[in-house]
Amino acid sequence: MRRLLPRRDRLTAVVAATAFAVLPAATPAHADAIRAQQWGLEAMHTEEAWQTTKGRGITVAVLDTGVDDQHPDLAGSVLPGRDLIGFGAGRGDEHWARHGTAMAGIIAAHGHGPGRESGVLGIAPEAKILPVRVILEGKDKARDRARKSRGTALAEGIRWAADQGADVINLSLGDDSESAHPEPGEDAAVQYALAKGSVVVASAGNGGEKGDRVSYPAAYPGVIAVTAVDRFGTHASFSTRRWYATVSAPGDDVVIADPDRKYYQGWGTSAAAAFVSGAVALVRSAHPGLTPAQIKKLLRDTARDAPEGGRDDSYGYGFVDPAAAIAAGRSLRPADLAAAAAGWDKRYFGNGPDPEGGGDDASALLAPAAGGLGILTLAAAVVLWRGGRTSRSARDRGDHGTYA
């Protein structure tokens, strides 16, 4: 079994995960109960990375369902954004900005209260979030309408974020349905963003138990595609295994903030992509002159726990390590930005899919696109409020709010 944490820390993490304090997180006395469950912070060596930077000066565009800029853990860190949907649930509604707020929190939450000891911390707590609403929550009644009438929102959002100077573009969403296939407009938008200097990060997909179908935008050239692991470094069974996997990151039992001011545990490759987006923010803050291609290579070269052979479709090149990437980046000089836009020049972007991966490859995905806007890839599992936790089977049923 692959392991990321020393044995003593693993045991501590397991206890925290099975015995929640689940009390109102706004109460300072309970802050440790929430923070102790943020196992991803320790696993990603954030304390070491924070000795250099906490992301100051970096803007991360979150293309999602919107972000609650009034959440106490994000207040003051969310820039004016853009809504490319224009309808659906609004502030105060149950199905407004939940997924997007969760992702923004993983990336750049700064906590709240005295000494900011309450709430959650993001990987890059001094970075800014640029929200771009390109998709609706799965339970939003207007979801079908948006899929039919706003199919180009993702491509438009990527271009708009790049034009605003976003250093990182987080795409914790994807389409891995049977009809998924590369959309020229989205591919072109990704290449446009890369050429403008924006690093593009996307979730690999949650199809690991459903055929490992190719997910877009993760499979577009130049994208940093992220798979999910649990607190022990084991590949999460739901995480898609495909040739485009770049690195892995925490994606199971992840603490997430919500507009309802409660905190939940969630799982999904969207959370993993948000962790890596925060890691990229740290690297960009430390080395602002590096190109997207250089940063992608840095993450690959410095990843921990590399699989046998150096790479596979479950873990990519290994577990992301922003502290190691920051250290290695000191020896690099900025490269040619134009080289970042790769285009469709070959079938596979890694060693090709694992033999046991299953699923259709990109050349077989010829059916019409399923609405263009894709699906979200995070499921909220447990509210850290009332006590108890659910089994994975309950999570799969969406008993506690499924986003996908």
Cβ proximity of 246 and 317 under 8 Å: yes
Counting the structural domains of the chain, the total is 1
Q: What is the pLDDT of residues 65-112, one digit of tens each?
A: 999 999 999 999 999 999 999 999 999 999 999 999 999 999 999 999
The answer to whether residue 355 is domain-embedded is yes
Q: Provide the percentage of residues in the chain whose pLDDT is more than 90.
A: 70
Residue 1 included in any domain: no
Residue 5 belongs to a domain: no
Q: Give me the pLDDT at residue 91, please.
A: 95
Give the domain extent around 56: 12-397
pLDDT computed for residue 339 by the predictor:
53
Mean pLDDT of 208-228: 97
With CA atoms as reference, report the closest residue to 223 among 249, 196, 194, 197: 194
The overall average pLDDT reported for the chain is 82
**248: its two tokens:** 């892995």
What per-residue confidence (pLDDT) applies to 32?
Answer: 57
pLDDT grade for 33, boundaries at 50, 70 and 90: confident
Confidence category of residue 2, pLDDT binned at 50, 70, 90: very low
Strands 128-133 and 59-64: parallel
C-alpha 315/C-alpha 163 separation (Å) is 32
pTM to 2 decimal places: 0.83
7: in domain: no
DSSP of 265-276, one letter per residue?
Answer: EEESHHHHHHHH
Q: Model confidence over 178-197: pLDDT tens digits? A: 888 999 999 999 999 999 99
Top pLDDT among 396 and 257 is at 257
Asked if the model's pLDDT at residue 278 lies above 90, the reply is: yes
Q: Which pLDDT score is estimated for 400?
A: 26
**Does 64 fall in a domain?**
yes
Residue 323, pLDDT above cutoff 70? yes
For residue 373, give the DSSP letter. Answer: S
| Cα–Cα distance measured from residue 131 to residue 381, given in angstroms and rounded to the nearest whole number | 24
Helix (H, G, I), strand (E, B) or coil at 312: strand
Looking up tokens 């992840």, which residue turns up?
254
3-state SS class at 172: coil
Model pLDDT for residues 162-172, shown as the tens digit of each residue: 999 999 999 99
Is pLDDT larger for residue 278 or for residue 151? 278
**What pLDDT was estimated at residue 178?**
87
Strand partners, 63: 132
CATH (domain of 323)? 3.40.50.200
Query: Where in the sequence numbering do the catalytic residues fall?
Result: 64, 99, 270
- Position 381 confidence tier, pLDDT thresholds 50, 70, 90: low
Is-cis flag, bond preceding 221, omega within 30?
no
Q: Which of 353 and 247 is assigned the larger pLDDT?
A: 247
User: Where are any strands of DSSP class E within 134-290?
Assistant: 168-171, 173-174, 199-203, 224-229, 245-250, 254-257, 263-267
Q: What is the pLDDT of residue 110?
A: 97
216 backbone dihedrals φ, ψ, rounded to 5°: -115, 135
Poorest-pLDDT segment among 202-211, 214-223, 375-384: 375-384
For residue 349, pLDDT over 90 is answered with: no
Q: What is the pLDDT of residue 357?
A: 39
Is residue 6 in some structural domain?
A: no
On whether the CB atoms of residues 271 and 395 are closer than 8 A, the answer is no
Least confident stretch, 58-67, 234-243, 339-348: 339-348
Token readout for 162 is 């790049």
Q: Is residue 143 part of a domain?
A: yes
Report yes or no on 215 lying in a domain: yes
